Structure formats: structure tokens, C-alpha cells
Structure 1
Amino acid sequence: MLDFLVDVRSDDHDTAHLRFAFDLAKRFGAHLTGMQVIALDASVIALPEPLLVLEDEEAFAHERHGWWASACRSRGIDGVWEVRKGAHRRVLIRRASLCNVLIGRLHAPGSGIPAGTGLLARVLMSRVSPLILVPDDAAPSAMRWILVAWNGSAVSARAIRAALPFLSRARNITILAGDRESRARRDDADTLLRAWLRRHALAVDWIEMDRDASPAVAIAACAEACRADAIVMGAWGRSRLREMALGGTTRHMLAYGRVPMFLSA
């Protein structure tokens, strides 16, 4: 049985990432844990009477157990509700180490959260588990039409390997191949991937990216063209600090992604 963990904030109720988590857990017969973290972070401690604020938030979080249990029961899902206290990032990292994937909310542009520097982006850097980020405006998805962004790197390969349970159940898989450093390395990596796909009986459509295209723009365009309802890709393939500071494919996709993204660092 797969184990899914979904990060639930105090104001999350009927968001796209929760609907996605319920639908995916139902389709895969997975165990679904909803977790609300009572964050003991500096921003909270700085509030007037922080202990009262935290006590109220914790009491409200525990009261949501019935809501979560009812939502799982109505969908025939095996699920539990957890409330944990601590530094939000550390709690997520520790808990996500025992799940197959962590599902989180990708806030829309203009939310005030800089792309690539938000909490879940930083959790991804810890490499404890893959992460599925679901944009607020994402259409319903159960990862049936999957676009895989492939550049021959170890990070990209790890993402594909981690996504195998979802690729195995997909109706259509498109590989968008490109953004590779040298012809020799590209050919070797492609040969290895094609052999791996055959061993796992995965039929794919293989598309070569235009050499002059921006990878992020090409990924988004291909996702729309092939009607992908999810994207699988490696994250932070180059220097993490460089991508966070200067931009890059990962940061661009976190800023402008329109479909759920399965990311592995």
C-alpha cells in the first residue's frame, strides 16, 4: 500500500490540493494522512500572546479530526488525521521520510510567496521524499496523462524512478527530452532510459525538445499540447542556491505551473 501525506494549513478546506489528494488516494488504494502543523516558528513567537494563539490553533486543528475522518470515509479511503507541533519545515521533513509522496499546495502567482523559496520548495531540497505540488487553479487530475521532463541527469532519473507507481497506471506517457550537456552523454542516458522503460512495460511517446527552446517554456507548451494532467520532473538539477537566487527551470515551473507537478530532487 502506498502512503500519501498531505500538508493541510489552518485555512485549507476545499482546495485543489486536497481534492487531488483524495482522488489520488482513492484511485491507488493508498493510505492518506492529513497533517496540520502547529508551527513554532519565529513569526508566530513574535506575535502578542503567542501561547494563546498557538493553543487556539491547536484546539481548532484537533477539532478537524471529524471533518477529515468523514471526508475519507465518504470516499472509501483509509486515512488518518495528525496534529504536530514544531518548526514547520522540520516536522514535514521528519514525517515525510515515512511516506511515498508529500502532497502540497502551490499558491497562485501574487500570493506573496516567492517562487522556489517557499516552505515546500525547501522541504524538497532535503530529498526525504518526492513532492507533488498542486496549483490552486489546477483542473481535476488523477495522473492519467503524464508528461515526463527528461534531460539525462541523475536528478531527472531519480524522479522517473520514484514516479514508477504512477507511470505504471497512466493511460499515456510523453517523454520530453532535451536540455542535455553533450551528444555522447545524451545518447547514453537516452539508451539507459529506454531500456528501463521497456523492462517496466511502459509505452511512451518520445518528443525531442527544440535545442534553442527554454526548457521551462517547452515543458509548459508540451503539457498543454499533450493534455497532460501531471508533470514528472527532477528539481534543482543545478546548484540549488544558484537556481533559487537567479532562477532556472525548477523555479520557473514553481512560479507558473498550471498542472500538478511530481518533483524529486
Structure 2
Amino acid sequence: MTFKYIVLNLDQESAVEPLVSVCRAIGDSSTHLVGVYTLPLFNPPVIAVPYMPVEVYQELDASSKKQADRIGALFEESAQRDNLPIEWYVHQGMTASGTSAVVEHALTADLVVTSLASSDKAPWVHRELLGRSSTPLLVVPESLAEVPAFRKIAVAWDGTSQAARSIRDAMPLLRQAENVTVVCTRGQSRARPDIIAGSDVATWLTHHGIPVFLDEHREKQLTLGIAFVDYTRQMSADLIVMGGYGHSPLYDSLIGGWTDDVLENSTCPVFLSH
């Protein structure tokens, strides 16, 4: 079992090759790639810019279309190296977030792959892609030096439905891994205090023939996203699997967002489910 139909959120030229390379690593020769570029909706605040000449809008639109052409050409060139079947779509942005078109494609896909750099343009893009489509999301860091083999995977387990779903969604990758480490990010179960935290997850994965290591030490039950990232670096993980955005944007802005902490600091791809 592998990912057969993958949507790529391609919004900048530098992201094309890394994202296609990651898709090669997680798919096979029959994996179908769907590249999507959304023309930005330019809508300046009326108070700040009460009037803007139409020529400015035309120039911005022409520039975006040229970028779409360049990205499309790079996407086709990169995919052709392995004769991967592709589709390429350019959509006009209908909302300020620019994610609606990608979400529509994602609804009927196995996976969405995007770059962490996309959040530079729209900080909410990852939350929207994940929350509105319910399709798992693979976020690739800008600093990715080489395509990982996805043989050493760290699973963040906090006992939530999001974490459980991320494990189910990532099964094609977990089954191919040589080592999967379950890292508890909270204490023992309230309903089953007699079992070691995370042991039920380890048992579940073992039934699938997945080699699992459970870090059961209490001091490793990490509560901060950056602490978890540091731990994954120590174990040389080349993929993180975790639930994403379990709290509201308001909660995350006041208390701090675990998901964004991991995304902003991780040096390996992060597989998210919601």
C-alpha cells in the first residue's frame, strides 16, 4: 500500500524540486501528482490605499501568471525524470487565504504535500489545508538538504483523536520504516492508569509488523513542541508523525501552538492529520 494520488501546493519556484523529490520517495512509479498554483487575490486595505491605478493590478496579475508558467514548467520537468503522471492546475484566488482551490483538490486525494515556506506568504495556510480538507498533510522544511529515506520515524502520542488519525493515515510510511519510536507527550491514560503510557500504541503498531521502540521514561514525556523537536534530532528521525492543530487559533495564540512550534523548528518533514 502506498500513496497513489498526491496534491502538491506549489506556490513558489524554490519549492518545486524538494516537493516532487519527496513524492518520489513516498510513492512509486504509478503515483499521480497534481500540482496546484493559486493566483493571489490582491486586495489592499482601502484605508491604506484608497485608490490604486488599474495598471498596478494588471502588472501584479501578469507577474503572478508568469510565475505560474515557470512553476508549471519546473513541475513538469522534475516529474518527467521518473515518468511520473501529473496534472497541472492554475486557479484564480477567490479568498485572501488562497487555499480554497487546493482544498478542493485535496478532498479527493490521498495526501497533500506543501512547503513550510508557504507559511511565509500566509501563516494560516497549513491549518486551513489540514482542517478544511481532512486529508493528511506532509510539510517539507525549507532547509531540507536531501530527500530522507523515511526509515526512522518519530510518532508524537498524546492520546488525542488527531494523534490516532495521524498514525492511521501514515501507515504506508510506518510499514516501510526500519525503526518507529513512539514518544509520549503527556502522562498515563486516565481511563487505564495501570498501563505504561504509549504501550497501547506500540501494541497496535506491532500487530501491523512495524518495528516499534517505546520511550516510556517519564522525563521523555515532552510537553513543549521545541523539546520534542530536539528529541527527534537526537534520534536522527527523518520523519515526524503527529496530530495537528487540536486547539483553536485563539488558544494557540494565547497559550502557544504545539503544531507550529514543531513545524517552525523541525529539520525533517512533518506528517500531520487532524
Equivalent position amino acid for 1:36 in 2 = Y
Q: Distance in 1 between matches of 2:68 and 2:177?
A: 35
Equivalent position amino acid for 2:108 in 1 = L
Residue deviations 1:186-239 (CA, integer Å, cap 9, x gap) = 649845434431332222111125267433234213211221111000112234
Whether the aligned pair in 2 keeps the contact of 1:244 and 1:251 (CA below 8 Å) is no
Work out the number of aligned pairs and report it. 260
Cα drift, residue 53 of structure 1? 2.6
Q: Aligned residue for 2:39?
A: 38
Residue deviations 1:43-94 (CA, integer Å, cap 9, x gap) = 5997753244324423552465443222212123222222122231211211
Q: Does 1:257 align with 2:266?
A: yes
Q: Distance in 1 between matches of 2:176 and 2:35?
A: 24
| Aligned counterpart in structure 2 of residue 73 of structure 1, from 80, 105, 109 | 80
Q: Distance in 1 between matches of 2:154 and 2:63?
A: 43
Equivalent position amino acid for 1:171 in 2 = E
Whether the aligned pair in 2 keeps the contact of 1:179 and 1:211 (CA below 8 Å) is no
Q: Distance in 2 between matches of 1:19 and 1:93?
A: 22
Q: Aligned residue for 1:138?
A: 144
State the SS of the aligned residue for 2:39.
Answer: strand
TM value normalised by structure 2: 0.80
State the SS of the aligned residue for 1:121.
Answer: helix
**Comparing 99-108 and 187-196, the one that deviates more:** 187-196
Q: Distance in 1 between matches of 2:84 and 2:11?
A: 21
**Comparing 207-216 and 29-38, the one that deviates more:** 207-216
Whether the aligned pair in 2 keeps the contact of 1:15 and 1:136 (CA below 8 Å) is no
Whether the aligned pair in 2 keeps the contact of 1:84 and 1:91 (CA below 8 Å) is yes
TM value normalised by structure 1: 0.83
Bigger Rg, structure 1 or 2: 2
Q: Distance in 1 between matches of 2:44 and 2:14?
A: 20
Whether the aligned pair in 2 keeps the contact of 1:178 and 1:210 (CA below 8 Å) is no
Q: Does 1:151 align with 2:153?
A: no
CA change 1:61–1:94 in 2 (3 A) is: same
Query: What is the aligned-residue identity percentage?
Result: 24
State the SS of the aligned residue for 1:236.
Answer: coil
Q: How does 1:21-170 map to 2 (within 5 A)?
A: 21-26=23-28, 29-43=30-44, 48=53, 49-62=56-69, 64-86=71-93, 87=95, 88-107=98-117, 117-140=123-146, 141-170=148-177
CA change 1:193–1:212 in 2 (3 A) is: closer
| Aligned counterpart in structure 2 of residue 196 of structure 1, from 182, 200, 204 | 204
Q: Does 1:247 align with 2:256?
A: yes
- Unmatched tracts of structure 1, length 5 or more: none
| Aligned counterpart in structure 1 of residue 9 of structure 2, from 7, 10, 13 | 7
| Aligned counterpart in structure 2 of residue 179 of structure 1, from 177, 183, 186 | 186
- Unmatched tracts of structure 2, length 5 or more: none
Q: Aligned residue for 1:215?
A: 224
CA change 1:33–1:190 in 2 (3 A) is: same
